[in-house]
Amino acid sequence: MYRVLNKHHAGVPASAVYVGRGSKWGNPFRIGPDGDRAAVIAKYERWLADQHHLLRALDELRGCDLVCFCAPRPCHGDFLLRLANATREARIAWWRGVKAGGMTRGRVWPGRV
């Protein structure tokens, strides 16, 4: 099972992929000015649907642990982990849901993959 790990904790494998600020996967939305933690994660999900270069690169994250500063708190990395390891069909369904304006309690991912 793949996880989102905290960069400050020991034991992060060298093969883990950093998805925090400064990486191409970083969340451009900040807690505070852009909303609370849940809001900035939801904004990231909607934003990602328009980042075609990142969507094409999702397979880089498949089968990898991800690293950010948020874990174990909720993080955009949790979403990236689910999306990267989802089937192609589930990714397409997610994208179509976002583009159709589908939202469930601030989250565009309709459920578990």
Q: Is 48 within 8 Å of 84 (Cβ atoms)?
A: no
Q: Which tokens is 39 given?
A: 């809001």
Look at residue 104 in the predicted model and tell me its pLDDT: 46
Q: Which tokens is 50 given?
A: 């328009």
In percent, how much of the chain has pLDDT > 70?
Answer: 89
Look at residue 109 in the predicted model and tell me its pLDDT: 52
Look at residue 102 in the predicted model and tell me its pLDDT: 67
Q: Is the pTM of this model over 0.95?
A: no
Look at residue 112 in the predicted model and tell me its pLDDT: 43
Helix 37-48 with 76-84: angle, nearest 10 deg: 40
Distance, CA of 36 to CA of 17 (rounded, Å) = 25
Low-confidence ranges of the chain (pLDDT < 50): 104-106, 108, 110-113
Look at residue 103 in the predicted model and tell me its pLDDT: 55
- Domain map of the chain by residue range? 4-99
Distance, CA of 89 to CA of 101 (rounded, Å) = 18
